[in-house]
Structure formats: C-alpha cells, structure tokens
Amino acid sequence: MLRNNHNVTMSLPILTGEHYDYWSKKMRTYFMSQGLWDLVSTGVTIPANLSSLQPAERAHKEKEIEAKKIKDFLALYDLQMAMDDSVFPRISQATTSKEPWDTLKEEFEGNAKVREVKLQTLWRELENTKMRDSKTIKEYYTRLKEIVNQSESIW
C-alpha cells in the first residue's frame, strides 16, 4: 500500500530485472505524484556551513534540511519496496534515493555508448519491420509504436 493524497490504494511496480524502461517511467510518475521526484533525480543538497546564519535562520534551515532528509528516506524506502529480491542486493547499501536510482539506470540503460548501440538496433528493427499478410494493421501499428516508445525511453 502506498501513500497518496486521494485515499486511493496503490501498489508499486516491482522491478524484476526485466522491462526497466517501463518500471522507471512508472516510478518517476509515482515520485512526481508524491512530490519526491526532485529528491530522487537530483539528491538532497546539504549546505556545508550554516554557522554564518543567524540562530533563527539556522534553525529554520536545519528544519528544512531534516524535512528533505525524511522525504528522501521515504523515496528510498519506496525504491527498496519496488525491487524483487533478486534485484534488491544491487541497491541495498544505498543511503539516499538518488543512489539506487542512478545505479539502476546505469545498469539497465548503460552509458551513452550503450544507449547509442541500443538506439541503432531499434532503428534497424524499425526499418526492417514490414506489414506481413498474417498481421492486422492494428498489430503492425502497435509493433511500430512499441519500437518508437522504446527508442524514446533510451534518451
């Protein structure tokens, strides 16, 4: 069961090691709906030195930082709960939500060179996809749309 603002019961998608692109889109949308996406995508920034601030301003800033840390732990917990036991060890040492997000992205999407190769493969597949007599126009369109969506999710 997940937190939400509309009293609707939701469950997190579980990453099993397959279909990372779909899982990451669903999780991104979930984090956006919970006001957590900025923390997951950019991390929590903690100022190096608050001693130059006035006491009241410092106390306010410390409360702000603590609230961000708590939200980040909520996002980290959600990411942990969205992992199959076979994937969880890859992120089990993370202490912020940004760490597992970046780790999984690198592992499943790869670096820029890997993404470029994947894109080239998808474009080749798109170019070679032909309407077959045994397929309907709807099936053909669906397959083309799948290829285009996969290529868009790579970048």
Q: Is residue 10 part of a domain?
A: no
89, 118: one domain? no
Q: For residues 105 and 118, state if they share a domain.
A: no
Structure confidence at residue 130 (pLDDT) = 77
Residue 96 lies in a domain: yes
Bridge partner list, 15? 83
**Residue 3: inside a domain:** no
pLDDT at 82 over 90: yes
Claim to verify: residue 101 and residue 90 sit in the same structural domain: yes
- How many CA atoms, within 13 angstroms, populate the side-chain half-sphere of residue 67? 7
**CA separation for the pair 85, 7 (Å, rounded):** 28
Are 103 and 135 contained in the same domain?
Answer: no
Tokens of 85: 């036991």
User: In this structure, is residue 59 part of a structural domain?
Assistant: yes
Domain membership of residue 1 (yes or no) is no
Other beta carbons within 10 Å of 147: 17
pLDDT tens-digit series, residues 14-67: 999 888 888 999 999 999 999 999 999 999 888 778 778 888 887 888 898 899
Domains: count for the chain: 2
pLDDT for 145 equals 85
Q: 73: domain range?
A: 20-109
